Structure 1
């Protein structure tokens, strides 16, 4: 099922407790991290589906805009959202349930990467993302805001701006989706390292959280998580919950 490029997706989870089922909402961000060829599913989504299967949860998708979805996940104890970058600004707003992926902020250009500072240059970023705050603090004072990273890549190719600020893994995923060879692009060194999580409200049920973490740990041990990473071309070691 292809994820909408306009925001987040609800994943409604029916959790069986004896003869009675309860519902848990799981909101999936449209940050797919290496979609497999011909498959709209992303890495983070694939991992969480596998964990949900192990904790006997059925899934159904729906759409929610980014900011509203993050607000819901932060305050609704029955909601899980992913993938969410763990940052100092968000630290106390969520229970950081499962680490899904490590990544780095980088600058991407079709030409040489300009020497910093980038004052006066237009930099492409995703509207409402943590990249906007990072760009502002880093002194990138001319921002071109887009709804998603696919739009940013198309703008970069069209010459709308010279530099794209994004996650390295996210950039590679979009290049492959659009049939572009990453070798055509120039990448800066890492500007900021971060870890993407499945996150929940601080009031999320502790027993439910334990079940999800145990299932994820079992996937690391039995090779399931490594197989999913190979499917999406994700490099590096898996992260402990």
Structure 2
């Protein structure tokens, strides 16, 4: 069967168009974030918080055309685990290690055990609250730490300000969370940060611009280059100051990759 030159030309045009489409969209990742006070949260019609503000500026410098999709934290966690071509700011932990790529470090913070400043009970370790009511965010690293520490009465919530209110009301005796998130959640609950006491530092950790497994390394290198430029020109420090972000002390042990990744 002979195919006419006209049909061949049309087929070649269709093929060329099909090949051009992936080239135009391959580098365009889906940028999402889970709501966590202090790190990623709604700010009017935009997204604020220290880690999301950094990512917004990185995206601006890269001429990324879309806004961050802000969603409940658990949903965002599942989206990056199951999604295709997805990136999001996310704390790195052993439990999450295999579900994402970890190439771009945004921030460091500490997970701490918090009590009321004038609590009657002397609490200075996880062991002191093993059989007591303790709050943590559902699906977060704080819950991982609590479970690993053998806490038997962990009360997990969907939003950190609930922990602030429960601690103030005496419904929990302690709260585990990232220090900067705890500070912001306390404010969102209308409570003074001065009412809190850092009973123990449990773990230092890093927040990454995590990526689903299918995001090309070359794409992540571009995001890292944007962040490096922000560090060099002072934008990084300015954003952290704008959000009153408390960086862990330099004498603290630096965050490292989980043992499973080594």
Q: Provide TM-score, normalisation by structure 2.
A: 0.74
Q: Which has the higher helix share?
A: 2
Partner of 2:103: 97
Partner of 2:86: 79
Stretches of 4+ aligned residues off by more than 6 angstroms: none
Taking a change above 3 Å as real, the CA distance of residues 140 and 191 of structure 1, as seen in their structure-2 partners, is same
Unaligned runs of 5+ in 2: 1-20, 255-262
Report matched runs for 1:25-64 at 5 Å.
25-33=30-38, 41-62=48-69, 64=71
Structure with bigger gyration radius: 2
Q: Distance in 1 between matches of 2:70 and 2:221?
A: 27
8 Å contact kept, 1:101–1:197? yes
Question: What is the number of equivalent residue pairs in this alignment?
Answer: 220
Structure 1 residues 176-200: Cα deviation after superposition (integer angstroms, max 9, x where no partner): 3334322222111211111111100
8 Å contact kept, 1:96–1:199? yes
Alpha-carbon distance, 1:76 to partner: 3.3
Task: Please say if 1:24 is aligned against 2:35.
Answer: no
Partner of 2:257: none
Q: Distance in 2 between matches of 1:62 and 1:114?
A: 39
Out of 122, 127, 136, the position equivalent to 1:125 is 136
Per mean C-alpha deviation after superposition, the further-off stretch among 69-78 and 151-160 is 69-78
Structure 1 residues 125-161: Cα deviation after superposition (integer angstroms, max 9, x where no partner): 1112222221011121101121111111111112211
Q: Distance in 2 between matches of 1:66 and 1:33?
A: 13
Partner of 1:233: 244
Alpha-carbon distance, 1:34 to partner: 6.3
Partner of 1:218: 229
Task: Please say if 1:141 is aligned against 2:152.
Answer: yes
Task: Please say if 1:192 is aligned against 2:203.
Answer: yes
Alpha-carbon distance, 1:163 to partner: 0.9
Q: Distance in 1 between matches of 2:226 and 2:40?
A: 23
Q: Distance in 2 between matches of 1:229 and 1:140?
A: 33
Taking a change above 3 Å as real, the CA distance of residues 212 and 233 of structure 1, as seen in their structure-2 partners, is same
Alpha-carbon distance, 1:43 to partner: 0.9
SS state at 1:221 partner: helix
Task: Please say if 1:158 is aligned against 2:163.
Answer: no
8 Å contact kept, 1:106–1:191? yes
Unaligned runs of 5+ in 1: 1-16
8 Å contact kept, 1:33–1:43? yes
Partner of 1:4: none
Alpha-carbon distance, 1:55 to partner: 0.8
Q: CA RMSD in A?
A: 2.7
Q: Provide TM-score, normalisation by structure 1.
A: 0.80
